[in-house]
Structure 1
């Protein structure tokens, strides 16, 4: 017999796709108990979304898992958390399903297994390998080892790697990253849309979701005091360091975009100096990114194991390390541009950037993409009548 989803679009029958993995089964079990208790209903977006459902199929579980920000507040508030026999641990269960969705929705599908292998060691090895490759390329241009000490470069890295060569190296990788992430989130969206009312996005819903993403609203523990990290104490550090990392990365990307416009629209070639806009954006963004990733590294290393999926820690640390290396090597390259160390630092920076780009579709960066999609569907769904008439949004 065909079952009806608890939250179908008006006038449509949506069959429930059963959960298929142990992680999905655990989330569905835990949410059934949470739905009977509802003590945490006001903590974050997950719990009001949960109250709109009586059953939890695969798409519902994927949606709610990516809606979770892993703040840990519900774990410490739960009367059924371990060592209770119910052993409810929403943060850990949700984290395990999120990791599964990243791999399942990866494009192309064959590369989804890279999520299990994208750890700290692999990330650093990739930076080392790419840097070595670039150093060898410099040596093969002529000049022997003296070419690596760059006495004749006069602060211009285009003498080592011409602008068109850099564009040819990075543009295809960047376009692939955008395409791969778009294909993955497109499949994710098509799966969760029917179980989140099926209604298209409205301007108010888009505005609310954008606000929640940019503010990291649900990293406040549901009460404004912050998340939990190594214990049950509240802290806003995770939210602040996430902000520094997110906006630092955005400023660095903006600096590159403005520099591209300078080059192609105005014919102003890099390198740029203060107080040019690319340099201001890059300097502020680089410092912010270093501070944010250093803080997240420390918090991640101290995080209580019950607050997430320990198997994903190498992937988390690998992504954090790559972001830090990109920022640190970029700032070092700027500060030492007029020194003989230019060639070595340029190869290190380009190697770190290439390693980051290569792993973006198959690393922790994906969590921001899928979480944004879930927040947008939540903002749409909450504006529709509750199909079971219980709970509050």
Structure 2
């Protein structure tokens, strides 16, 4: 008669699409082992089965290997609903705290899948300090560049730039500075998510992505579906009450960032395809997109900072707060310095504000692959695998799909 462990391994093999072939068992870290422990208990209880994508995905498994744990951790949106509903949460002896356990594994994911790995470890430990130091260093570099190019200190305050910052830093120079950084970000994120996808695909049925699955996952990402707390009332805040503030601030931040990026893309097309040189003013499309996106980004990040500082102490991983706040601070600096640059472009402060804004943008892009932005990429991949997996036969016949 087969043991429970053997049956569990065979179920994992079937779920991966490799019938009769057991997936190699890799050792779990302490954080991954804790997720596996709480998932075993939750799989017996199933009170939270309808809360989010984590729980129906959980019910398709009898055991939780490394790939399963990393996959489930990146499905979790840290809304906190399961913690507040759980009868086994602290101070119960089982000590079930899914938001904290999942957050610790996600933090480990950023470092494990970072490329190059050393940069992921550095940013994880010193996110806020590193972010602000990068802004200061890069802004100072640009200030020195403006001084040394021949304008002296007069190039920084009161210089006659004709309300056009390209008179201080030519367009081709800025392209030469930012294009390599942007290409590095694309490469680093691609390398990381490629490895992540390769690891979790066998553990999530192994099936190829279909159009319906891609459409569902895209909708879940764009709507931030799983920040509704599983019931539509939102996440819990520090006083145990439901609130939609976190979801709204994430939407403002996400779509504000996309609008700012779209403004840069449209301006690039204007410059290279149509020959329309910057600066652009209202009612031009780059200015409309950038101005709207900047305001949304500033409001969203200000709200996220406030919510992060006041979050329930049992939610998430406290050690990741510097990394989270570093990313929020960079986004806020990019938004507010960009808006200030637009407002003050005809004043003596133009050059200094330009150096600050460009330093913040460069620091943001240099750190994108190693913090919360990477988390968004991994979560999108996990949601895509979930939408694909749920369309496959349940290997153990006990799931919620």
Give the TM-score, by structure 1 length.
0.98
What CA distance in whole angstroms lies between the structure 1 residues aligned with 2:237 and 2:25?
A: 34
User: Which of 209, 221, 226 is residue 229 of structure 2 equivalent to?
Assistant: 221
Aligned-pair CA distance for 1:145: 1.5
Aligned-pair CA distance for 1:16: 4.3
What CA distance in whole angstroms lies between the structure 1 residues aligned with 2:22 and 2:362?
A: 43
Alpha carbons of structure 1 residues 244 and 103: separation in structure 2 relative to 1, 3 Å: same
Describe the SS at the equivalent of 2:280.
Answer: coil
Q: Does 1:73 align with 2:81?
A: yes
Alpha carbons of structure 1 residues 14 and 150: separation in structure 2 relative to 1, 3 Å: farther
Where does residue 113 of structure 1 map in the other structure?
121
User: Which of 320, 337, 345 is residue 337 of structure 1 equivalent to?
Assistant: 345
Aligned-pair CA distance for 1:113: 1.0
Q: Does 1:238 align with 2:246?
A: yes
Alpha carbons of structure 1 residues 180 and 5: separation in structure 2 relative to 1, 3 Å: farther
What CA distance in whole angstroms lies between the structure 2 residues aligned with 1:59 and 1:99?
A: 15
Aligned-pair CA distance for 1:110: 3.0
Give yes or no for contact 1:5–1:13 (8 Å, CA) kept in 2.
Answer: no
What CA distance in whole angstroms lies between the structure 2 residues aligned with 1:20 and 1:392?
A: 26
Where does residue 60 of structure 2 map in the other structure?
52
Where does residue 287 of structure 2 map in the other structure?
279
Q: Does 1:360 align with 2:368?
A: yes
User: Which of 11, 19, 23 is residue 15 of structure 1 equivalent to?
Assistant: 23
What CA distance in whole angstroms lies between the structure 1 residues aligned with 2:83 and 2:326?
A: 26
Deviations 1:202-256 (A, max 9, x none): 0000000000000000000111000112132111000000000000000000000
Aligned-pair CA distance for 1:137: 0.7
Give yes or no for contact 1:229–1:307 (8 Å, CA) kept in 2.
Answer: no
Q: Which runs of 5+ in 1 are unaligned?
A: none
Q: Which moved more, 1:331-340 or 1:287-296?
A: 331-340
Deviations 1:109-159 (A, max 9, x none): 232312323421221111111111111111111232111114310111111
Deviations 1:337-371 (A, max 9, x none): 11111101100100000110111111221110000
1:131-280 alignment, distance < 5 Å? 131-280=139-288
User: Which of 4, 7, 10 is residue 4 of structure 1 equivalent to?
Assistant: 10
Q: Which runs of 5+ in 2 are unaligned?
A: none
What CA distance in whole angstroms lies between the structure 1 residues aligned with 2:275 and 2:158?
A: 26
Where does residue 327 of structure 1 map in the other structure?
335
Give yes or no for contact 1:80–1:87 (8 Å, CA) kept in 2.
Answer: yes
What CA distance in whole angstroms lies between the structure 1 residues aligned with 2:294 and 2:132?
A: 19
Give yes or no for contact 2:124–2:371 (8 Å, CA) kept in 1.
Answer: no
What CA distance in whole angstroms lies between the structure 2 residues aligned with 1:237 and 1:110?
A: 35
What CA distance in whole angstroms lies between the structure 1 residues aligned with 2:234 and 2:389?
A: 26
Q: How many residues of Structure 1 are paired with residues of Structure 2 in the alignment?
A: 393
What CA distance in whole angstroms lies between the structure 2 residues aligned with 1:134 and 1:292?
A: 28
Where does residue 89 of structure 1 map in the other structure?
97
Aligned-pair CA distance for 1:10: 5.7
User: Which of 386, 390, 393 is residue 398 of structure 2 equivalent to?
Assistant: 390
Alpha carbons of structure 1 residues 207 and 14: separation in structure 2 relative to 1, 3 Å: farther
